Amino acid sequence: MNENISQINLSSWGVLRRILGYTLKYKWYALVALVAIVIFQVLGVVIPDILRLVIDRGIQRRDSDYMLQAGLLVVVLGVLRGGIGFVARYFSEAQSHKVAFDIRNEMYRKMQRLPFVFHDRSHTGSLITRSLSDVDEVQRFLAFGLLDGLNTLLITGLAFAVMFYTSPVLAMVSILPMIPLLVRSQRFAAFVNHEWRRVMEHVGKLGDHLQESIVGAEVVRAFSREHHEIQRFAEENQRLYVQQLKVVDKWTQYIPFAATMTAVSIFLTLLVGGWLEQEGLAGVTVGVIVQFSAYILMISQPIRFFGFVIMLVNQAIASGRRVFEVLEEPETITDKPGALELAQAKGLVRFENVNFRYAPNLPYALQDINLTAEPGQIIALVGETGAGKSTLVNLIPRFYEVTEGRVTLDGHDVRDLTMRSLKDQIGIALQESLLFSATIRENIAFGRPNANEAAIMAAAKAADAHNFIMEFPDGYDTLVGERGITLSGGQRQRVAIARALLTQPAVLIMDDSTSAVDTQTEYSIQQALRQMMQGRTTFVIAQRLTSVMHADQILVIDQGRIAERGTHAELLQHKGLYRQIYDLQLADQERVRRETLDFSRISELTAVGD
Please state the φ and ψ torsions of residue 396, each to the nearest 5 degrees: -70, -50
275 and 365 together in one domain:
no
129 domain-assigned? yes
Task: Tell me what percent of the residues of the chain surpass a pLDDT of 70.
Answer: 84
Q: Are 192 and 246 in contact (CB under 8 A)?
A: no
Based on the domain organization, do 443 and 509 belong to the same domain? yes
At 216 the pLDDT is 66
Which alpha helices (DSSP H) does 131-175 contain, by range? 135-140, 146-166, 168-175
Is 121 found in the same domain as 222?
Answer: yes
Residues 50 and 117 in one domain: yes
Q: Is residue 468 part of a domain?
A: yes
Burial of 452 (0-12, 13-18, 19+ CB in 10 A): exposed
Q: Which uninterrupted H or E stretch holds 353? A: strand 349-356
The number of domains in the chain is: 2
Q: Where is mean pLDDT largest: 44-58, 329-343, 345-359?
A: 345-359
How far apart CA 293 and CA 46 sit, in angstroms, is 14
* Per-residue model confidence (pLDDT) at position 521: 62
d(CA 482, CA 163): 64
Domain span at residue 22 reads 12-327
DSSP state, residue 411:
T
pLDDT in tens, 252-266: 777 788 778 888 888
- Local confidence band at 406 (pLDDT 50, 70, 90 cut-offs): very high
Q: Let me know if residue 253 belongs to a domain.
A: yes
The residues near 169 (Cβ < 8 Å, ≥ 6 apart) are 276, 281, 282, 284
Q: Are residues 288 and 377 in the same domain?
A: no
pLDDT band at residue 217, thresholds of 50, 70 and 90? low
Please work out, in degrees rounded to the nearest 5, the angle formed at the alpha carbon of residue 202 by the alpha carbons of 199 and 203. Answer: 85
* Amino acid 2: pLDDT: 44
Higher pLDDT, 357 or 447: 357
356, 223: one domain: no
Average pLDDT score over residue span 31-41: 87
- Sheet with 412-413, strands from edge to edge, namely 366-373, 349-356, 404-409, 412-413
Q: Do 305 and 223 share a structural domain?
A: yes
pLDDT of residue 432: 67
Mean pLDDT of 104-133: 82
Angle in degrees, CA 420, 399, 216, rounded to 5: 120
- 84, pLDDT greater than 50: yes
**Maximum alpha-carbon separation in the chain:** 145
607 — pLDDT class (breaks 50, 70, 90): low
Whether residue 335 lies inside any domain: the answer is no
pLDDT tens-digit readout, 16-29: 889 988 988 998 98
CA distances from 48 to 41, 80, 278, 291, 294 (A): 12, 16, 21, 5, 6
Give per-residue burial for 364-376: e unless 16+ CB within 10 Å, then b: bbbbebebebeeb
Q: Amino acid identity, residue 326?
A: V
One domain, residues 416 and 556: yes
Give dist(CA 271, CA 293) in Å, integer: 11
How much is the average pLDDT of 556-573?
A: 88
**Mean pLDDT score, 337-356:** 89
**Per-residue pLDDT averaged across 514-518, rounded?**
56
Indicate the helix (H) or strand (E) that contains 429.
strand 426-429
The helix/strand/coil state of 6 is coil
Last residue of a domain, one of 294, 327, 360: 327
**Both 175 and 260 in a single domain?**
yes
Q: Which stretch, 81-85, 260-264, 512-516, has highest mean pLDDT? A: 81-85
Which whole number is the average pLDDT over 359-387? 88
Between residues 504 and 597, the one the model is more confident about: 504
Of the candidates 327, 358, 375, which is a domain's last residue?
327
Residues 316, 360, single domain; the answer is no
Please tell me the predicted confidence (pLDDT) of residue 185.
Answer: 73
In tens, the pLDDT along 270-290 reads 888 888 878 777 777 888 888
Q: Parallel, antiparallel, or unpaired for β 507-511 and 426-429?
A: parallel
Considering the domain architecture, whether residues 366 and 222 belong to the same structural domain is answered as no
Answer whether residue 343 is part of any domain. no
Do 320 and 373 lie in one domain? The reply is no
Distance (Å, rounded) from C-alpha 329 to C-alpha 211?
23
Q: Which pLDDT belongs to residue 144? A: 81
Residue 338 lies in a domain: no
HEC profile of 525-546? HHHHHHHHHCCCEEEEECCCHH
Average pLDDT, the chain: 80
Identify residue 557 by its one-letter amino acid code: I
Question: Has residue 591 been placed in a domain?
Answer: no
Region of 560 (left: φ > 0; alpha: ψ -120 to 50; beta: rest) is left
Q: What is the CATH number of the domain that holds 461?
A: 3.40.50.300
CATH number at residue 266: 1.20.1560.10
| Better-predicted residue by pLDDT, 444 or 304 | 444
